A and B are shown apart, each in its own frame.
Chain A
Amino acid sequence: GDSVTQMEGPVTLSEEAFLTINCTYTATGYPSLFWYVQYPGEGLQLLLKATKADDKGSNKGFEATYRKETTSFHLEKGSVQVSDSAVYFCALPDNYGQNFVFGPGTRLSVLP
């Protein structure tokens, strides 16, 4: 079945460091891919998405490129801020397009 593998962390970085959170997936066909972010005490919110191969999603300085050949959708940011401290989830729709498959989440802590 469809699945998402994501580095679990926690990841601790200093402010202005470069961030990569790896995400690989297994899916039938070429589904849309999503990154969600959950700030402390809040629900998940969509951070960015890509709908087809080679698409790059971007938002708030974060980027992720839909790589069909490596079935990956790694999240990157060139310079993290303390306010980026959160849990990040990689996700995709299931094979039937009705439900969502979420990765386990990666907790990021950014220190000043």
Chain B
Amino acid sequence: DAGVIQSPRHEVTEMGQEVTLRCKPISGHDYLFWYRQTMMRGLELLIYFNNNVPIDDSGMPEDRFSAKMPNASFSTLKIQPSEPRDSAVYFCASSLRGRSEAFFGQGTRLTVV
């Protein structure tokens, strides 16, 4: 398996624009996580899904953030409108049955100018 695949790897956008980050989890994994990493706040869980259903979105910072998982092999994280403080590295991870280890993608480095 190719692992968790995220796209794009880098994204630079202007403030106010919509940004969509994409993730393909490992085939067969039933949990999918979105994290944000910054120097100031470290690694933060934004939202996670189980069998395509959002379980906990309490980490989503504002209504500008939304995430979907239309099927078992694809998820998106959307920011609309984007702001400079959204600049961070966003990671997607997947796992099997929760208690096993999480596998992370390479991340998307988002810069909002």
User: Could you tell me which A residues sit within 8 Å of B by CB distance?
Assistant: 31-32, 34, 36, 42-46, 49, 89, 93, 96-100, 102, 104-105
Contacts and interface: CB of A to CB of B under 8 A. Distances in A.
A89 B35 CA distance: 14
Contacts of A105: 42-43
Nearest to A96: B98
B106 A42 contact: yes
Interface stretch (B14-22, B48-56, B70-78): B48-56
Identify which of A34, A100, A104 gathers the most chain B CB atoms within 10 Å of its CB: A100
Identify which of A43, A45, A89, A97 gathers the most chain B CB atoms within 10 Å of its CB: A43
B42 A93 contact: no
30 contacts: A31-B99, A32-B99, A34-B101, A36-B104, A42-B107, A43-B93, A43-B107, A44-B43, A44-B93, A44-B104, A45-B104, A46-B101, A49-B101, A89-B43, A93-B98, A93-B99, A97-B98, A98-B31, A98-B55, A98-B56, A99-B45, A99-B56, A99-B98, A100-B33, A100-B45, A100-B95, A102-B43, A104-B42, A105-B42, A105-B43
